[in-house]
Structure 1
Amino acid sequence: MITALVFDFDGLLMDTESTQLESWQYEWRRHGLELDVATFFADHGGDVSELRYAALAAAVGAEYDRVSSHDRRVAYRDALNAELVVPQGIQKWLAEAEGLRLAVASSSPASWVLPLLEQTGYRSRFEVVACGDEVSAHKPDPAVYHLALGRLGVQASEAIAFEDTPHGVAAAKAAGLRCVAIPNRHTDPARFTAADLVLANAADMTLAEILGP
């Protein structure tokens, strides 16, 4: 019997994947350059900002100023993030989840996840928030899912995970959870064969339909 739902954060509860990409595109274009979107997203969770800054510095050359570049990009990103909301389909799931325990399992640090989750107005709905700075390895490693399950005090068989990336699906499955994938718009849906269910949009099914009889 399913008693808990565990949600990824970035790209699922809030489309911060898109705002991150847009902020980097903005900064590359400030230098008259175009970011290679095909290589932007890593196949693992966690922060890859240093690699991205290094790539930009190499492209710009000696005149690149990392401090001003970072400040400008982050200000642009934060302005975009301020407009984000939880997708309507997931809002409906949260409204339908009466009696179920809810958790977040994210590779991002708590300092990133918690303020944004508070911004959504749904922070109080999540009994548990497990973050990447609390575990030794990021997705596809299952550590953050083990942490979330441990804090909930439930078995993997009692929970369903919701993810938007292949490495997130891999982490959930490695932890023993059923996983529903909603591929973000930057990832090929064909890469989600490990998911138990793949939806184009959360509005495509009700939570009751996902949970089944």
Structure 2
Amino acid sequence: MDLPLQAFVFDFDGVIVDSEPAHYRAFQAVLEPLGQGYGWDEYLAHYIGFDDRDGFREAFRRGERELAEADLEGLIEAKSAAFDRELAAGLEPIPGAVECVRRLGELLPLAVCSGALRQEIEPTLAALGIAEEFRVVVSAEDVAHSKPDPASYRLAVERLGESLGKPLEPAACAAIEDTPTGAASARGAGLWVVGLDRGGDAGLEQAHRVVREPAEVDADLLAALGRGEQA
């Protein structure tokens, strides 16, 4: 089958693993003692897709409180420790995600592009038995600006090209994202975007194609994207 695409990039949280509830609980473990806590619905509406850095900045901005940059690293470290406790309990994969990674890995070079920390991503991929499927992992530490800024996807494409020993154009790559923030980042970097909308209300208008389950992302869909076909 003709497959004009040359690489595929996976988001991590909400696409490979169902980690958003764990991230929410870890944020609240840090914010609630400061009087800055918020509900799950507010997290979904305003915070999902941010990395830790911008998540704390947004919480303080919405709470109309000053956040000194000098204090930000301590908050991030505290949230990371809280999330490590969540990791120790284990994260469940999104149904069909592991199979999707392996299926696409037989077709194309793969990368992860995420606002999560590397120490969160790599052990989880290893626990799921899919770490070796990915040539590149771009995490929060690798860029100064998180999604929806396109910097992380630009870097993922650049590093994928380096791993292949040849320049790689963003338009020759596709990504899968489950949030408007992530879809905006990937599309802003020039990639084709598959939106994973498991609940049917994710607001993924910037995606070129929208699917309900990872099982729908197959060679036929990738070939259609590579030909420039949109839903």
Q: TM-score range by the shorter chain?
A: 0.7 to 0.9
Match of 1:192 in 2: 204
CA drift of 1:158 comes to 1.3
Secondary structure, counterpart of 1:95 in structure 2: helix
2:214 is the counterpart of 1:202:
yes
> Which amino acid letter does the alignment assign opposite residue 204 of structure 2?
F
RMSD of the alignment, in Å? 3.4
Q: Tell me if the contact between 1:11 and 1:18 (Cα under 8 Å) persists in the aligned partners.
A: no
Which range moves more in the overlay, 10-19 or 139-148?
10-19
For structure 1, the 5+ residue unaligned runs are 59-66
Report the alpha carbon displacement of residue 8 of structure 1 after superposing the two structures with TM. 0.7
Q: CA offset at residue 200 of structure 1?
A: 1.9
Are residues 1:45 and 2:50 paired?
yes
Alignment match, 1:6: 9
User: What do the CA deviations read for 1:49-68 (whole angstroms, capped 9, x no partner)?
Assistant: 57669999x9xxxxxxxx9x
The AA in structure 2 aligned to 1:121 is G
- Are 1:87 and 2:101 matched, yes or no? no
| Contact 1:85/1:120 (8 A) holds in 2 | no
Map of 2:154 onto structure 1? 146
Change (3 A) 1:112 1:91: closer
**Which residue number in structure 2 is paired with residue 61 of structure 1?**
none
Q: Tell me the secondary structure at the aligned position of residue 99 of structure 2.
A: helix
Contact 1:11 1:184 in 2 (8 A): no
CA gap of 1:198–1:101, structure 2 versus 1, over 3 A, is same
Secondary structure, in 3 states, of the residue corresponding to 2:9?
strand
CA distance in 2, matches of 1:207, 1:3: 14
Identity of aligned residues (%): 30
Q: Which runs of 5+ in 2 are unaligned?
A: 66-73, 162-167, 225-231
Kindly indicate whether residue 129 of structure 2 is the aligned counterpart of residue 121 of structure 1. yes
Deviates more, 1:101-110 or 1:37-46: 37-46
Q: Deviations 1:95-123 (Å, cap 9, x if unpaired)? A: 32214100001122223222222222211
Report the alpha carbon displacement of residue 161 of structure 1 after superposing the two structures with TM: 0.3
CA contact (8 A) 2:178 2:204 kept: no
Give 4+ residue runs of structure 1 displaced > 4 Å after superposition. 22-30, 49-56, 70-75, 77-80
Shift of 1:37: 2.2
Aligned residues: 197
Deviation of the 1:192 alpha carbon:
1.0
Aligned partner of 2:117 in structure 1 is: 109
